[in-house]
Amino acid sequence: MSRPLCLITGASTGIGAACATLAATQGYDLILTYNSDQAGAQAVAKAAQAAGAHAQIIQANVAEPAALEAVFTLVDATGPLDALINNAGIVGPATRVADLTHKRLREMFDVNVIGAMLVAAQAVKRMEPLGKGVIINITSAAARIGSANQYVDYAATKAAMDIFTKGLSDEVAPAGLRVMGVAPGLIETQIHAKGGDPDRAQRLANKVPMQRTGSADEVAQAVLWLMSEGASYVTGSTLDVTGGR
């Protein structure tokens, strides 16, 4: 019997990489996208292959329609698509709203919202005829916290994805598809360094009721449970993985 196929965007590091490794151990074959970190994606694929998965990588900036066309050409050549972990996203250096530029906002929304929505749309086109499939959108607790003086633009993109998750879920549930969001909190990944503040998670850990940061593996465990039959009656909402924050 063939293994189910999962597409993971932004899989070269952090939460995407953790999801890929765990999905491989739970019986999935994988298509993994990356934007710039080819070596990271190759390492993740190698780990997935060691766990028994057939894993392929493809370079793709999800904000570029031509890149998405190439991704889904590979999906179609590989087999039916069973699951999507819609994870690719970016964050900019900490700044106030008054200092945001059009260029930064355009890039942030192109990747985190428009790109993610187009990826999900292409997944739906392939899942609906089969009458099954799961889409997990990786959002953020920033969507309700707001991230003032830091990443209000990033928070706004993730709030958009929360609403998109609900709307898409309602649209495709009658066809047998499930759509969920997972909202990580302070997770130890490279995204903080990419935002210019590598120590951010540790510095804010005392604001978390559990008094610690989370790991990418803990987020992956939630994602893979939502993809499982154990979550067969769960759709249309967003699960916080935040330590209570």
Orientation angle between helical segments 152-172 and 116-127, nearest 10 degrees: 20
Task: Give the three-state DSSP class for 7.
Answer: strand
Both tokens assigned to 129: 């005829």
- Let me know if 174 is exposed, middle or buried by CB neighbors in 10 A (0-12, 13-18, 19+): exposed
Q: Is the dihedral of CA 84, 234, 22, 194 positive or negative?
A: positive
Active site residue 154: yes
What one-character-per-residue DSSP string does 174-203 give?
Answer: GGTEEEEEEEE-SB-STHHHHTT-TTHHHH
Residue of 28, 34, 151, 154 marked active site: 154
CA distance 228 to 241: 17
CA distance 156 to 144: 9
Both tokens assigned to 34: 């990356």
- Are 139 and 158 in contact by the 8 Å Cβ rule? The answer is yes
Q: Active-site residue numbers?
A: 154
